[in-house]
Amino acid sequence: MSEQFLSHKASSSPGFVNTSTYRQDLIRAVSKYARPDYRKAFWQISNTFIPYLALWGLMIFSTLQGYPYWVTLLLTVPAAGLLVRIFIFFHDSCHSAFFPSRKANRILGYIAGIMVFTAYEDWQRTHIIHHSASGNLDRRGAGDIWTMTVEEYLAASWLKRLAYRLFRNPLVLFGLIPIVLFLVVQRFPSLGAGKRERYGVVFTNIALAVLIIGMSLLLGFQNYLMIQLPILLLAACTGMWLFYIQHQYEDVYWAREQNWDMTDAGLKGSSYYKLPKVLQWTVGNIGLHHIHHLRANIPNYHLQRCHDEVPALQTVKPLTFRKSLKSLWLNLWDENRQILVSFRSIKKLNRLQKTT
């Protein structure tokens, strides 16, 4: 089916036509963008890794020269932004999407993985599971944000409710959990990891130990922490927010196994997070997440062009930064209304049930 037909489908229907034929034609329309390019890949590495290492150099200089610590912290902001971008390259390599060569993707994955404190093989496995189960209520729990339905929450024990409310508290979810995830959880293989993944975790941990010891001998352990921790903390919190908002917004898509549709899971269950150009560059176009979940092996550097040239993709309503803040207070999936709702709405529901 031609892109003209896809354009007709997008403009003549308020939703998406959930047929295997439509999905096949849509996949065919975006497939030409799933072609990694060495030139673009190396250009991205140059305009990201070099500035990141340069900022590290400036932070080392300011720390060793005894400049006020706020100077180092100011440099943390762009450095953390570049580390987020490096994580996007790591993410692309996990989909074999950054370089044309599988081997080159694996090498980049290991190098970038060490920089972002994440083991390549193990994260790749859990992330692929996430793609295969995104939006499926019956397959929650692998590589996603813990999400309960309204019925599950109301039926849960007070202890489970308390744990869930603590987990979904913004200070915990975007402050404590990211740093624990990258510093502690990622040091161990995930459940179900095979030998290759376990070896990958061990290799990454050894590489990180060598790096930390080497930098500590060069700078002093305290100086190293004063540079590394703020960068990692800011980047991890930003990354957690991005991952959260990609699949946690009011009219997101969730369905039971028998009704789950892969096309809807991609186009309705993954946000088009529209950011200013500078931030879009920083996060490697990951805001075009609806396209990524439709065809995961499209490199980040082709996502915008894919969106601009395939009309069917433009039917997805953008989520702005201002509107996305509402998602901080949306915590439970209401299967009856097919929307995410807040804890406050559950209190109203309880009051209504008591009066009827």
- 10-22 pLDDT per residue, tens: 443 434 444 566 7
The reported pLDDT for the residue numbered 20 is: 62
SS3 173: helix
Structure tokens at 92: 């692309």
Share above pLDDT 90 across residues of the chain, in percent, rounded to a whole number: 83
Span 314-320, average pLDDT? 91
Helical spans, DSSP H, in 95-194: 102-115, 120-133, 150-155, 158-168, 170-171, 177-183
Q: Beta strand pairing status for 339-341 and 332-334?
A: antiparallel
- 268-312 pLDDT per residue, tens: 999 999 999 999 999 999 999 999 999 999 999 999 999 999 999
The reported pLDDT for the residue numbered 80 is: 98
- 237-259 pLDDT per residue, tens: 999 999 999 999 999 999 999 99
The reported pLDDT for the residue numbered 353 is: 52
The answer to whether the beta carbons of residues 86 and 116 sit under 8 Å apart is yes
- Taking all residues of the chain, what is their mean pLDDT, rounded to a whole number? 91
Structure tokens at 222: 């305290």
The reported pLDDT for the residue numbered 350 is: 60
> Model's pTM, two decimal places?
0.90
- 117-160 pLDDT per residue, tens: 999 999 999 999 999 999 999 998 877 899 999 999 999 999 99
Helix axes 221-247, 69-94, angle to 10 degrees: 50
